[in-house]
Amino acid sequence: MNDVSIKVCMGTGGIAAGGVEVMSTFEKALASAGIKAAVAKNCSTHKVGCRGFCARDVLVDVIIDGNKSTYQYIKPDMVERIVSEHIVNGAPVGDWLVTDDYHTFHDKQVKVVLSDCGEVDPEDIESYISRGGYDATKKVLTTMTPQETIEVIKASGLRGRGGAGFPTGTKWDMAIKAPGPVKYLICNADEGDPGAFMDRSVVEGNPHAVIEGMLIGAYAIGAPYGYVYIRAEYPLAVERLHLAIKQAKERGFLGKNILGKGLDFTIKVKLGAGAFVCGEETALIASIEGKRGQPRAKPPFPVQKGLWGKPTIINNVETLANVPYIIRKGAAWYAGMGTEKSKGTKVFALTGKILNSGLIEVPMGIPLKEVIYDIGGGIEGGKKLKAVQTGGPSGGCIPSNMSDTTLDYESLGKVGSIMGSGGMVVLDETDCMVNVAKYFLEFTKSESCGKCIPCRIGTKRLLEILTRITEGKGREGDIELLETLSSDVKTSSLCGLGQSAPNPVLSTIRYYRDEYEAHIYEKRCPAGVCKDLLSYSILEEFCKGCTACTRVCPAGAIIGEKKKPHKIIQDICIKCGACFETCKFKAIKKG
């Protein structure tokens, strides 16, 4: 045995599941003299980024002389047995290895952006270089002109992964033609959609791919200065990005006269301060300039007049992370994946009521049902799929009977949703669609910057109507009012936030009008979510008096002696449903 390498998943999911402790236990175990003598010359532990299957964390790879075994659900106290049985004696611990469904999770995925995530050590540039990293930089700097670089990106069909899907090559082409020596390239890592963590995982798992993508973009458009605008809520990503920039500088991939080819490029990191609207280009620029992040009217577009009044290109993290791979493997390879108008792959954050939640990358044009049932493993707890929400607060819902819909920009637009940045939240039969619409309007209302009236007042009024519907105070004509107001807000708002804010309302009315009607006319929430339309009570004949419900009740609304039927005091009950979920005897009645 010569080489033993251990890779521990240390994305946010991995760390939350105890990745740091698992890693240090491995380090300690391997450092002990006895094992060193028994094993190998080359024994190393590495932290790696997100491997996607966060539901199974902590995931650990043990690679002995090139043979990889993957363990799931690893805790520190399991390390010793893995070391003694597998590493010292060469027999993997069968009980803890990943099962077949781990492979099914990966089978239908095609990894480009994520191909090195979970393989490279994000804190070590050498690890990225050893897998072909920065080869693309060398290729463009030594063999291609900026215009040729842009042509490759155009031919690959790569479109902006931030949501709108504007062709990246075309955008770069506009920038190279913009006059002046000072241009800026901004990487938008202000991933604000709730329910999305693609960009976070890419920056945490493979920050050098993003830096390399920026570098190639900077060469193509002639921008000497770059910024990464990243959310302060992502501390680990920020830390790894800073480290990666430092290492890239040391290796001569950033700074003056890069690779001796006369290219200058520096990257600065700017921390977002928590405003969703800063994902909008002009608001993001205002924020980098140190102002309130309020959008302005376009034109002039940022490519004409952007940061500090200079031509500026803003690309999303995932878009940029695709670039090095496209340059390395060629435009034809990339364009060979996906559909006619949506090329390549897309990363999605698959979350909600799904069994295998995590980060996935699939070819464009894959049917939604394959993602839900083959990769996602179906719905949690054997419940029924109700809808899939894509595009976050700017998107819409795809109902279960339309799960044949393919995932590409055009098809998603047709069903009234959007690709968005890649958040995919799975909803089951216990989710109320009116409540979901209300949730998103609460979000957009509080994130509206307040500059234009349709968005500032419109989202507030939409939310008020939705709130009264969920409180059982809905009026006749409310649905029509929502529809009219939504279309007004969409057509008259200044920026994308307001223009898309009513989408969740329109899409839920389109497919679930009956649920709205049940709330308004029958004062009933069919999914049993809206508190004001619900009450909980205890069925005495089933209650064993086990006191489980009294312990979980956050309001202290349940009384009763041990081993005797309990009672819920309706005035105190906050209708949170904790008792309903805790009771093993089905003694709590919801209705």
Partner 1 sequence: MERKLEDILTRYRENEGNLISILQDLESEFGYLREDAIMWMSEQLDVPPARFYGIATFYAQFHLKPRGKNIITACCGTACHVKGSERLITSLVKELAIPEGEETSEDLKFTVEKVNCVGACSIAPVIIVNKTVHGKMTPDKLMKEMKTLKEGKREYTDYI
CB of 437 to partner 1, least distance (A): 12
Task: Encode 393-407 in three state secondary structure.
Answer: HHCEEEEHHHCCCEC
In the numeric block, which tokens belong to residue 374?
């083959």
Buried/exposed code over 224-243 (b: 16+ C-beta within 10 A; e: otherwise): ebbbbbbbeebebbbebbee
Cα–chain-centroid distance for residue 569? 41
Could you give the CA distance from residue 172 to residue 547 in angstroms, rounded to a whole number? 64
CB of 366 to partner 1, least distance (A): 19
CB of 478 to partner 1, least distance (A): 23
Closer CB to partner 1, residue 235 or residue 252? 235
Closer CB to partner 1, residue 24 or residue 170? 24
Could you give the CA distance from residue 18 to residue 20 in angstroms, rounded to a whole number? 6
CB of 180 to partner 1, least distance (A): 20
The partner residues of 388 in beta bridges, in order of sequence, read 398, 426
CB of 251 to partner 1, least distance (A): 23
Closer CB to partner 1, residue 180 or residue 290? 290
CB of 529 to partner 1, least distance (A): 9
CB of 576 to partner 1, least distance (A): 4
Cα–chain-centroid distance for residue 56? 17
Could you give the CA distance from residue 107 to residue 100 in angstroms, rounded to a whole number? 10
Closer CB to partner 1, residue 137 or residue 356? 356
Closer CB to partner 1, residue 272 or residue 338? 272
Closest to 315 measured CA to CA, from 202, 420, 169, 447? 169
Closer CB to partner 1, residue 106 or residue 341? 106
Reported residue count of the chain is 591
Closer CB to partner 1, residue 91 or residue 232? 232
CB of 554 to partner 1, least distance (A): 4
Contacts of residue 8, defined as CB under 8 A and 6 or more positions apart, other chains included, come to: 14, 19, 22, 23, 26, 45, 46, 47, 48, 58, 59, 60
The torsion of the CA quartet 406, 412, 414, 420, rounded to 10 degrees, works out to -170
Closer CB to partner 1, residue 135 or residue 581? 581
Could you give the CA distance from residue 238 to residue 252 in angstroms, rounded to a whole number? 21
CB of 428 to partner 1, least distance (A): 9
Cis peptide before 300 (omega within 30 of 0): yes
Contacts of residue 415, defined as CB under 8 A and 6 or more positions apart, other chains included, come to: 396, 398, 402, 405
In the numeric block, which tokens belong to residue 494?
């200044």
CB of 300 to partner 1, least distance (A): 22
Task: Let me know if 25 is exposed, middle or buried by CB neighbors in 10 A (0-12, 13-18, 19+).
Answer: buried
Q: Check: CB of residue 508 under 8 Å from CB of residue 433.
A: yes
Which three-class secondary structure state does DSSP give residue 349?
strand
Closer CB to partner 1, residue 195 or residue 365? 195
Closer CB to partner 1, residue 173 or residue 361? 361
Q: Check: CB of residue 354 under 8 Å from CB of residue 376.
A: yes
Closer CB to partner 1, residue 15 or residue 509? 15
CB of 419 to partner 1, least distance (A): 16
CB of 588 to partner 1, least distance (A): 15
**Positions in the binding site for partner 1 (CB under 8 A):** 12-13, 15-17, 20, 54-55, 57, 191-197, 200-201, 232-236, 271, 273-276, 287-293, 349-353, 357-359, 389, 392, 423, 425, 427, 431, 436, 439-440, 443, 447, 449, 551-552, 554-555, 574, 576-578
Could you give the CA distance from residue 548 to residue 75 in angstroms, rounded to a whole number? 28
Closer CB to partner 1, residue 9 or residue 40? 9
What counts of helices (H) and strands (E) characterise the chain? 24, 18
CB of 16 to partner 1, least distance (A): 4
Could you give the CA distance from residue 76 to residue 58 in angstroms, rounded to a whole number? 10
- The backbone torsions φ and ψ at residue 377, rounded to the nearest 5 degrees and listed phi first, read 75, 10
- The backbone torsions φ and ψ at residue 115, rounded to the nearest 5 degrees and listed phi first, read -60, -30
Q: Check: CB of residue 325 under 8 Å from CB of residue 139.
A: no
Closer CB to partner 1, residue 27 or residue 488? 27
